[in-house]
Amino acid sequence: MHHAQGSFTVDVHPLTPAPAEGIGRYTINKTIHGDLEATTIGEMFTAGDPKQGAAGYVAIEVVTGILAGRHGSFVLQHFASMDGAGPKMEVIAAPGSGTGELKGIEGTFAIRIEDGKHFYDFDYRLP
């Protein structure tokens, strides 16, 4: 298992039309720095009321760049929710999504926000 860490900026914009009443649709694009130098492009679907502390989202984004000197791409698959018990988030490298020198990648991508800034810890395996 390898570990990568760093920071990222995220750009989120609503997309219309929404797929159904109560569901939001957004672009989600990131610029990632650190052990992973990459950009992403993806989409996110949301439901619930985050202002009331009860909501969820799913997202898929293609990550293209360089990880540990290897060039390629892979997909991050997000599943997250928040409720009275607090936030829960799982972000993984989608199985079978790696290309180029990142073919066969698997792992978990942890996101944290500190003082309004986004950081990641990526524990991954490559064949």
* pLDDT tens column, 96-120: 999 999 999 999 999 999 999 999 9
Query: What domains can you pick out in the chain, each with its CATH number?
Result: 2-125 (2.40.350.10)
Which pair of structure tokens corresponds to residue 66?
Answer: 């360089």
* Position 60 confidence tier, pLDDT thresholds 50, 70, 90: very high
Gap between the Cα atoms of 15 and 96, Å rounded:
28
Nearest to 87 by CA among 62, 58, 53: 53
Mean per-residue pLDDT for 17-42? 95
Q: How far apart are CA 108 and CA 110, in angstroms?
A: 6
Cβ(77)–Cβ(113) below 8 Å: no
Share of the chain above pLDDT 90, in %: 90
For the entire predicted model, the pTM comes to: 0.93
Q: What is the pLDDT of residue 114?
A: 95
Helix (H, G, I), strand (E, B) or coil at 107: strand
pLDDT tens digits along 72-91: 999 999 999 999 888 899 99
Q: Give me the torsion for CA of 114, 119, 122, 123, rounded to 10°.
A: -30
Burial class (CB in 10 A: 0-12, 13-18, 19+), 67: buried
Token code pair at residue 45: 């679907």
Q: How many CB atoms lie within 10 A of CB 23?
A: 11
CA torsion 28→29→34→35, rounded to 10°? 80
